[in-house]
Amino acid sequence: MTPFAVDWAPAATAALATIWMQATDRTAVTSAQHRIDQLLEQDPFRNGRHRCEGLFIIKVAPLACAYTIDLSRNLVLVSAVWRSP
């Protein structure tokens, strides 16, 4: 399978920055974000859960993200991120 490019929407990037700044363990947040990117690059269909009409969710503690997949461009767009236990 061809790897996917992963892009974060500006709102998701801003939310991630806020989470990181408020985190007591910033290394965990950074590691989770890196792992999410890796998993989505490899296989966004199998490494997340389909929620509804093209929207997927992936969880890597302490983060969870919502994303969509554009097969025509092999692109994953992370549209939202939040803290997840």
Cα separation of 29 and 83, whole Å? Answer: 9
Cα separation of 58 and 18, whole Å? Answer: 19
- pLDDT score recorded for residue 85: 82
- pLDDT score recorded for residue 36: 98
Cis peptide preceding 85, ω within 30 of 0: no
Q: Where are the beta strands (DSSP E) in the chain?
A: 5-8, 49-52, 55-60, 63-70, 75-83
Write down the CATH number for the domain with range 5-83: 3.30.2310.20
| C-beta neighbour count of 25 within 10 angstroms | 10
Splitting the chain (85 residues) into consecutive groups of 10 residues, what average pLDDT does each group show?
91 98 98 98 96 95 98 97 93
DSSP state for residue 23 in the 8-state scheme = -
